[in-house]
Structure 1
Amino acid sequence: MSTTIAKPRSSRSSTADAEPRRRRKMKSPYPTWFFLPAGVFYIILFFVPTVASLWFSLTRWTLFSVEFIGFDNYVRFFQEPPLVQGFINTFIYAFVTSGAKVVLGLLFGVLLSSQIIGRGFTRSVIFFPVLASTIGVGIMFKVLLDPFDGPVNAFLESIGIPGPGWWTDPATALLTVAMVDIWKGVGLATLIFIAGMVAIPQEYYEAAKVDGANGRATFWNITLPLLQPATATVVLLSLIGGLRSFDLIWAITKGGPGFTSDVLASVVYKQYQAGFFGLSTAGNVVLFVVVAAIIFPLSWWLNRRSVES
């Protein structure tokens, strides 16, 4: 009677068989229908309004009638000088505010990550404007910077400096609102940079100290490269907020004087007020395209740099 001895399966084959089974088990930790509510909300609250906006931007519509006119609204949008001015102001405002928030946030982050007296109090003071209402901040600065009765100009005149027409002068209105926006938003940028600096391992700084690197060399060769993820976050958030800004501008200047401080969002709102619904819808589509065309490539580039660094 012969006996057949079964050969044991090799550990390599058993491991190979176990991997597909493990991969199948880990493929979907939740049932697919768990994602159904989020998909429904996405379709109702984002996809359907986006498609509807694209359609209504090609029409002359009211609450009771719709007339298809093709791309006439877009042609008119870029032919009207006030609308073109708002388009240009959007880029000026966004790049000024985001650039200043990145630079000032980085400086404050470095300062408030060091051992200084009153560090906790200073952090609270810088971050407090982020918590304040945007409309409330706008009204407050509109009163403070009033060219005639404002306390800022009264103080400047008391020391012999003629106060400017902060939000009434076409040359300074947009930059005045940008300055207020920077004051309100730099606290969030500072907080993100502080979080990024705290996450940097101290071993790098200790090694640099052993090698004899000074503070400037340490900042440029260790701190700044390792802050790439935080920098990318601040740049993207600040730029998105600047491109979509409306409430602060409306609270202080309402786009004035004239159209000198208008941005795309305030232009769109004014067109809705005037009853040009199709034109204002086209402006909304233009704003959406502008934000997407800038943010998505920039996000890809910044995230790629963060991974490489």
Structure 2
Amino acid sequence: MTETRPRSRKSPYPLWFFIPAAIIYGVLFLVPTVSSLWFSLTRWDLSTAEFIGLENFQQFFSEPFLVKGLVNTLIYAVTTSGLKTVCGLLLAVLLTSNIFARGFLRTLVFFPVLVSTIVGITFTVMMHPTKGIINVTLETLGIPGPGWLTNPALALFSVALVDVWKGVGLATLIFIAGLAAISPDYYEAARIDGATRLQQFFRITLPLVRPATVIVVTLSLIGGLRSFDLIWAMTRGGPGFSSDVVASVIYKQYQAGFYGLSTAGNVILFALIAVIILPFTLWFNRREVEE
């Protein structure tokens, strides 16, 4: 009796259906990526390109202000990502509970996400050291207002707080969706066993909302590492180089005509995002499989 081998299941779509998507992906991602890698190894302008190897990368890591931009990028990304995750989760828990005007409060929290980055100019005025509404209010309370954007020690963190204000609404929305997917039966069983609200939060909410947490952390980290527009609108990397990040450094080098150096900065930023995000994603996927 002859054995019948199972036939391999063929895709219902012919391969040529994927050609348009492959062309778009190649033109918009592969070609620019490969071109950036090549031009980062050259000294180029709009008409010529001279191959110089790794000199652009050596110069990038030998200039103190360029390294400062790299360090600031990591600080900015970790600060904004951490605050968005913590504040977003706490707001989501609050906005999924039985509170007054819950729908209005959800709209209020999400509204900054819809605001243009030009809001950075508004906060620049509000954070003015002598005439800004924030320091004027603090002075009426007898508290001396700091130089939010003029103090080198505070400038980067001041912009980070505005970034958190603008982006925490999206994190809250993602967490609300994650909380809505948790079955109420878990909380009911915990209440029967005498668990307090704090115990329910740490034993039920935090573990079951982990997928939403990973999404928020990943998006926030990528956004923080790529951040440029808000920083440029508020401080332009100043005072000095205290709030410069890799993206603003790249822009300044491009403005100065150092195209090869700015392209090398782009490659470093791409590698930085990949080195941070890919291991984190792989680690989380492995944890999901193990559990």
CA 1:171–1:122: 2 relative to 1, 3 Å? same
**Could you tell me how far apart the structure 1 residues matched to 2:212 and 2:197 are?**
20
Q: Give me the identity figure in percent.
A: 64
1:179 is aligned, of 158, 161, 172, to: 161
Paired residues for 1:1-309 under 5 Å: 20-21=6-7, 24=9, 27-134=10-117, 136-309=118-291
For 1:193-228, what per-residue CA distance to the aligned partner results, in whole angstroms no more than 9, with x for missing partners?
111010111121222222222212211211111111
Task: Using the TM superposition, name which of 188-197 and 204-213 deviates more.
Answer: 204-213
* 2:70 alignment partner, SS class: helix
| TM, length-normalised to structure 2 | 0.96
Partner of 1:3: none
Gaps (5+ residues) in structure 2? none
Gaps (5+ residues) in structure 1? 1-8
Task: Using the TM superposition, name which of 81-90 and 199-208 deviates more.
Answer: 199-208
**Could you tell me how far apart the structure 2 residues matched to 1:123 and 1:186 are?**
11
| TM, length-normalised to structure 1 | 0.91
**Could you tell me how far apart the structure 1 residues matched to 2:200 and 2:168 are?**
24
**Could you tell me how far apart the structure 1 residues matched to 2:241 and 2:12 are?**
54
Task: In structure 1, give the amino acid aligned to 2:76.
Answer: Y
Bigger Rg over Cα: 1
**Could you tell me how far apart the structure 1 residues matched to 2:230 and 2:207 are?**
34
**Could you tell me how far apart the structure 2 residues matched to 1:66 and 1:75 are?**
18
**Could you tell me how far apart the structure 2 residues matched to 1:148 and 1:305 are?**
51
Partner of 1:5: none
Deviation at 1:37, TM superposition (A): 0.5
Task: In structure 1, give the amino acid aligned to 2:121.
Answer: I
The aligned length equals 291
Task: In structure 2, give the amino acid aligned to 1:274.
Answer: A
**1:228 and 1:306 in contact (8 A); partners too:** no
